Structure 1
Amino acid sequence: MNEQPQPPVWLITGCSGGLGRALATHVLARGHRLVATSRKPTQLDDLVARHPETCRALALDVTEPSQVKAAIAQAVAAFGRIDVVVNNAGYGLVGALEELSDEQIARNLDANFFGALEVIRAALPILRAQHSGHIVNISAAAVISNYAGFSIYGAAKWALEGVSESLSAELKPLGIKVIIVQPGPFRTEFSGRSLERAGNHIADYDRSSGKFLRFLETMNGRQPGDPDKAADAIIGAVESNAPPLRLVLGKYANDKVRKKLASAASELAAWEHLGLATDFTPNL
């Protein structure tokens, strides 16, 4: 008699709120198994109470490599494998580049880029041994085209996407898939408690990065994106036989991609006469 396949095991970082929380809730509702992580795991007690057999909550600060390795090991010890790794932990940093301190820049890159790298590198030996699995990296609309005031946050997500593209090519022969999620504005705490402001105000930037900060503050609580629907979309992509490299969430982000593609095509057409002329002239 054939054994029934076990539900997949997800490991999601940053589950205390927002998209991570929504995704954790929907994964468990589908009967999947989950290792939910947060810097404060007590914030996940209700998930464990509702799903004691299929949910484990672990403390994880992705900027602490020892915690990352321990979390991966504990996940395997709990469920025997990991099928989906979701790098969701992170936070925004807004301010003109000149206004940001060295410490703010380093912390943001650690949380949004280097922390995700630590999680991926710790999980790869498990996924390789299985010859299966998914790595889902949560990116941002700032990568489609960046905003004044999001230089460092956008750079961190841009770097994560660059790694993801290469990683996708490296892992495809091994049966491991990579998905980059590009969400538009969703109704989470990203523009509230998860958004750090530059500490050094320079008035000259009030009409650029300052204007963008005011926009974020005005939009907070009125974002068009529904985190529950985003969670369903991510799960749908993971369950697909041929998932996309990039999953663009929400009308805002989809419109932004189309505008960026049109702008890039227009600029290329206008300047290719200079670019094409830089190759060596063939010998006739």
Structure 2
Amino acid sequence: MQWLVTGCSSGLGLELARAILASGHKCIATSRNPSKTPEAVAEIERLGGIWAALDVAASDLEFRLGEIVDKHGTIDVLVNNAGYAAGGPLEAMGIEAIQNQMETNFLGPIRAIKALVPSMRENRSGIIVNISSAEYWDPHAGCSLYSASKFALEGLSESLATELSAFGIRVLIVEPGGMRTSFVAPETITKPVLPDAYKGTMTDFVLSAILAMHGEQKLDPRKAAEAVVEEVLRPCGTPPVLRLPLGKESLEGMRGKAGRLVGNADVCEAVALGADF
């Protein structure tokens, strides 16, 4: 199978490219600016992979994907991994920052899916892997916009899984917890400006805690990547699962949210049923 992975310059994306190639499959690793990571590009190409420039937020995304397919052939597995987190209170965020977050984390995957699904549908096979986050289980103060982008991706994926099942196409949502990558590294992240009204609140505490966790995250990106590749090649369930939590944080978050939802349903049962004809 031939995989295409977005956001491979570092972290999970780079580990995915390594794991895919180690499994004996073809991999097209992509990033916005390959010239910024020459060592990573050289490594993946040395391992037999292909590296291509691809910006999921660019106006020419569909054209670039078409070029890649024309040159390298059909994509069997699309991994929408590219993304970033815009932190801070929602009211302090400009509309441009909001649009950029959704453009990369949500609209980029939509556009890539729309570009590649027709060939998957014609072949009646294919897998779409959307990288979400454990934030889906427990959204934190100060992460509302990032959480919104991942909730949107989850909703899209859940509906799309049913929509595309008629054509033999699987959708897999991957939900990693805090991963030991450069995602929140001081040199790569812009610390949000906190309005005075939010100082000393839960938002202030959470944002400080997130920035302080760099290098202490529990999830191993190499093991996470290997788990994703394994799930695609040899699904852990029958039928294959829709959601793959990765790490203790995500697994406990999934179970915790399930319990809270059941409790919510029990409390609201009489009101909910009373609203029917």
**Which TM bucket (shorter chain)?**
over 0.9
State the shift of 1:121 in Å: 0.7
Structure 1 residue 218, shift from structure 2 partner: 1.3
1:167 to 153, 156, 160: 160
Q: Which amino acid aligns with 2:215?
A: G
Between the aligned residues of both structures, percent identity stands at 40
Match of 2:209 among 207, 210, 215: 215
Q: Any idea what SS the aligned residue of 1:124 has? A: helix
TM-score calculated relative to the size of structure 1? 0.90
**Cα distance per residue 1:164-218 (max 9 Å; x no partner):** 111111110101000000111110111125544434x312222122111111111
**Are residue 149 (structure 1) and residue 146 (structure 2) matched?**
no
Whether the aligned pair in 1 keeps the contact of 2:45 and 2:51 (CA below 8 Å) is no
Structure number with larger C-alpha Rg:
1
Tell me, yes or no, if structure 1 residue 255 matches structure 2 residue 252: yes
Shift of 1:141: 1.2
Q: Alignment partner of 2:162: what SS?
A: helix
Pick one of 39, 42, 47 that aligns with 1:46.
42
Equivalent residue for 2:228? 234
Aligned to 2:175: 182
Quote the Cα distance in structure 1 between the aligned partners of 2:71 and 2:226. Answer: 25
Q: Match for 1:267: what amino acid? A: N
CA contact (8 A) 2:125 2:167 kept: yes
Partners of 2:214 and 2:10 lie apart in 1 by 15
Deviates more, 1:182-191 or 1:36-45: 36-45
Q: Is the 8 A contact 2:18 2:44 kept in 1?
A: no
**Cα deviation per residue 1:54-84 (whole Å; 9 max; x = unaligned)?**
4211111101141x22332233234321110
Shift of 1:157: 0.7
Partner residue in 2 for 1:4: none
Judge conservation of contact 1:87–1:116 (CA < 8 Å) in 2.
yes
Kept after mapping to 2: 8 A contact 1:58/1:71: no
Distance between the aligned counterparts of 2:64 and 2:230, measured in 1?
26
Structure 1 counterpart of 2:143, one-letter code: F
Residue 217 of structure 1: SS of its match in structure 2?
helix
Count of equivalent residues? 269
Report deviation, 1:260.
1.1
Asked whether the 8 Å contact 1:101–1:198 carries over to 2, the reply is no
SS of the residue corresponding to residue 108 of structure 2 reads helix
Q: How does 1:99-178 map to 2 (within 5 A)?
A: 99-178=92-171
Query: Could you say which residue in structure 2 is the equivalent of 1:3?
Result: none
Given that residues 65 and 118 in structure 1 are in contact (C-alpha distance below 8 angstroms), is that contact kept between their aligned partners in structure 2? no
